[in-house]
Amino acid sequence: MRLEQLRAFLAVAETGSFQQAAQRCGVTQSAISRQIQGLETDLGVTLFHRANHAKLTVAGDRLLPRAKKICQEWQNAVQDLADLIAGKQPELCVAAIHSLCAYHLPPILQRFCQSYPDVQLRVTALGSDRALKVLKDGLVDLAIVMNNRFLTTNAEMVVEVLYDEPIKVLVAVNHPLAQYEAVPWDELAKYPQVVFKDGYGMQRIVQEQFERRGATLRAALELNTPDAFRGVVRQGELIALLPETALIEAYADPTLAVRPVAATSTNNHRNPDALPDPPLTRQVVLVTTRDRLQIPPIQHFYKLVSELLPLQVNCLPLSTTRGESKL
């Protein structure tokens, strides 16, 4: 059974004439007759009494309301896809890491809402690994996350590198590590730390750094928001390794201090001439899928983020202008 057969059936049923049905469908009367005969053969029943007027049989009368529903559903599907291609979608869903949601993302969200006022924008703050999973599951359209090549190496994924940012040490202002201009790794290992929960890329990167140096990460507490990290670290004992974008309010807090991590080599004990490790950083990327990138609102949001977010991050005062050594 084909859609054109059902359309021919509806045209004959509604006009009561094979000739008028052919005129409505823009085909010959013989073409309409072939469509009806093929449908009757497929179904194994006669649908019309052939007389001066084409009158529905009992089987035809039973088929009529279902044929209308099928054709209407198909028309609805065609219209929905046409609206999608034209950018007429009810919502756009984004997953983003917490550190971007307070300062860097809002101006971009506002720009998008001005361009697409009829599209409801939904933004959810999630850890990087979780955000990539919900993107893969089709629950969001884009994810702004810390790069994880194990989760983004897929032919369907489109990954745009946005920026690299340093990871620094957050301590209470009276903590022993606050005396350092740059905190050595062997000193970091001496103190219990607040870490991100499982599913957050920052937890993984911090754990990997300690493992590379043969040191044990003393994870005393798991949290997932910058506010919570500041509140706990402010108490004086615990420390945290956080990305620059999560430290904006910490720089202005007189009870907290932010310090870079000292450049060291993981091979010093075996090779005194080894070059220092590269600065401790994380890479933030924008991820979507190739099919979603063909949809105008998603394409527009992708362009806004890729063009403006690096500028938003880089235009904020850097630590050197915030008086980092005085915090």
Q: What pLDDT was estimated at residue 76?
A: 82
At which of 85, 107, 129 does a domain end? 85
Share of the chain above pLDDT 90, in %: 56
With residue 285 as reference, give the H or E element that holds it: strand 281-289
Q: Is residue 143 domain-shared with residue 175, that is, in the same domain? A: no
Q: Is residue 273 domain-shared with residue 173, that is, in the same domain? A: yes
Determine the Cα–Cα distance for residues 11 and 164; give it in Å rounded to an integer: 63
- Top-confidence residue, 146 or 265: 146
Instruction: Answer whether residue 127 shows pLDDT above 50.
Output: yes
- Residues making up the chain, counted from first to last: 327
Instruction: Answer whether residue 323 shows pLDDT above 50.
Output: no
**Owning domain of residue 65:** 3-85
Tell me which of 47-51, 172-176, 286-290 is least confident.
47-51
Tokens of 104: 């860097």
Q: What pLDDT was estimated at residue 319?
A: 44
Q: State pLDDT tens for residues 70-92.
A: 988 888 888 777 777 766 678 99
Chain center to CA of 120: 15
Q: What pLDDT was estimated at residue 152?
A: 78
Q: What pLDDT was estimated at residue 276?
A: 60
Which single residue is written with the structure tokens 């790794």? 185
Q: Is residue 49 domain-shared with residue 151, that is, in the same domain? A: no
Tell me which of 106-120, 142-156, 268-282 is least confident.
268-282
Q: What is the CATH number of the domain that holds 212?
A: 3.40.190.10
Q: Is residue 126 domain-shared with residue 200, that is, in the same domain? A: no
Instruction: Answer whether residue 321 shows pLDDT above 70.
Output: no
Q: Is residue 209 domain-shared with residue 172, that is, in the same domain? A: yes
CA angle 239/253/183 to nearest 5° reads: 35
- Range 278-285 average pLDDT: 87
**HEC string of 15-44?**
HCCHHHHHHHHCCCHHHHHHHHHHHHHHHC
Determine the Cα–Cα distance for residues 201 and 68; give it in Å rounded to an integer: 52
- Range 60-66 average pLDDT: 92
Q: Is residue 58 domain-shared with residue 140, that is, in the same domain? A: no
Q: Read off the pLDDT band of 229 (50, 70, 90).
A: very high
Instruction: Answer whether residue 156 shows pLDDT above 80.
Output: yes
Tokens of 306: 């890729």
The pTM of the full predicted model, rounded to 2 decimals, is 0.74
At which of 39, 69, 85 does a domain end? 85
Q: Is residue 38 domain-shared with residue 142, that is, in the same domain? A: no
Q: Is residue 95 domain-shared with residue 229, that is, in the same domain? A: no
Q: State pLDDT tens for residues 175-187.
A: 999 999 999 989 9
Q: Is residue 273 domain-shared with residue 289, that is, in the same domain? A: no
List C-alpha distances in Å: 134 to 125, 196, 303. Answer: 12, 19, 21
- Residue 98, Cβ density class (10 Å: 0-12 exposed, 13-18 middle, ≥19 buried): buried
Which single residue is written with the structure tokens 């008086």? 323
Mean pLDDT score of the chain? 87
Q: Read off the pLDDT band of 265 (50, 70, 90).
A: low
Specify which of 46-60, 68-82, 142-156, 297-311 reaches the highest per-range mean pLDDT. Answer: 297-311
With residue 142 as reference, give the H or E element that holds it: strand 142-146
Q: Is residue 27 domain-shared with residue 134, that is, in the same domain? A: no
Q: Read off the pLDDT band of 107 (50, 70, 90).
A: very high
Q: Is residue 169 domain-shared with residue 159, that is, in the same domain? A: no
Write the CB contacts of 23 (distance below 8 Å, at least 6 apart in sequence): none
CB 9 within 8 A of CB 23: no
- Range 200-224 average pLDDT: 89
Q: Where are the alpha helices (DSSP H) in 163-223?
A: 185-188, 201-212
Q: Which residues pair with 219 in a beta bridge?
A: 193
Determine the Cα–Cα distance for residues 35 and 43; give it in Å rounded to an integer: 12
3-class SS of residue 110: helix
- Top-confidence residue, 76 or 196: 196
Q: Is residue 126 domain-shared with residue 274, that is, in the same domain? A: no
Q: What pLDDT was estimated at residue 87?
A: 66
Tokens of 91: 């919502």
Share of the chain above pLDDT 70, in %: 90
Amino acid type, 302 = Y
At which of 50, 85, 120 does a domain end? 85
Please state the domain count of the chain.
Answer: 3
Chain center to CA of 43: 46
Q: What pLDDT was estimated at residue 279?
A: 76
- Range 34-53 average pLDDT: 89
Q: What is the CATH number of the domain that holds 77?
A: 1.10.10.10
CB 13 within 8 A of CB 55: no
- Provide the sign of the torsion angle of the four alpha carbons 114, 294, 287, 277, taken in this order: negative
Which single residue is written with the structure tokens 């010093």? 268
Instruction: Answer whether residue 198 shows pLDDT above 90.
Output: no
Determine the Cα–Cα distance for residues 174 and 256; give it in Å rounded to an integer: 8
